Structure 1
Amino acid sequence: MIEEPLQLTIKILDKEYRIACDFHEQDDLKASARLLDGRMREIRQTGRVIGTDRIAVMAALNIAYDLIQVQRARSVPEGDLTRRLQQLQERVNHALAGDTDDGPADQAEPETPAQSSLDAPRERV
């Protein structure tokens, strides 16, 4: 059985819009409308942008910028992330086992940035 699209009414900057969407998409559409409405209201309140069209474009640019930042943050190569997680897991296992002795000091290899002790401001997972 094929579902008929819903006609959903959303409100953005006090103007109503009727949008067709599938039943399973309605919550995301409502959330998107609330996000857009909130961003547009913030921009309008600054008083620096006049006109609904310009406010909408500025809100869309801000949301697109946020999306790109999230995508960029997630674009860590999977192999690098897997390798880094394995290294961290090994450190945790050694710490839990009480294994703090990495061998004689005169045989210790110089630490590379990936092997250095955890430094919260530098660590990214």
Structure 2
Amino acid sequence: MAEHTDKETVAVNILDKEYLVASPGDARGELERSARYLDEKMREIRASGRVFGTERIAVMAALNITHELLQNSGSMPESAERTLRELDERVREALEQPQADTGA
């Protein structure tokens, strides 16, 4: 994969919290779409009332999304595995950054 040097900080909202994530400029749309999808899945899990706590909701959403990915592809191709590793790193970086005050 080509190394991206033009990174920008993108603000994404997941469960009403803002996270700042470094992203190559050409991947901004994908990152925003991924964040919306994750937010939707986490909201579905929270609304079920069976899972409590943001961390547990995030883990369940990750498991569900991974399950969907594996069912759709039959097996995880190397490119999907690499993409998941990159997304995991972005999430880790975002969670390590101080959260912005959303005024809530």
TM range (shorter): 0.5 to 0.7
Q: Secondary structure at the match of 1:21?
A: strand
2:40 corresponds, among 38, 41, 44, to 38
Instruction: Please identify which structure carries the higher strand content.
Output: 2
Shift of 1:3: 4.6
CA RMSD, Structure 1 to Structure 2 (Å): 2.0
Structure 2: gaps of 5 or more residues: 78-104
TM-score by length of 1: 0.55
Q: Distance in 1 between matches of 2:30 and 2:45?
A: 23
* Larger RCO, structure (CA 8 Å, separation 6 or more): 2
Superposition misfits of 4+ residues, deviation over 2 angstroms: none
- What residue identity is the alignment partner of 1:13? L
Gaps of at least 5 residues in structure 1 are 76-125
Q: 2:74 aligns with which of 72, 76, 79?
A: 72
Identity of aligned residues (%): 48
Q: Which amino acid aligns with 1:55?
A: I
Aligned pair count reads: 74
Q: TM-score, normalised by structure 2?
A: 0.66
Q: Deviations over 1:41-87 (max 9, x none)?
A: 000000000000000000000000000001118x9xxxxxxxxxxxx
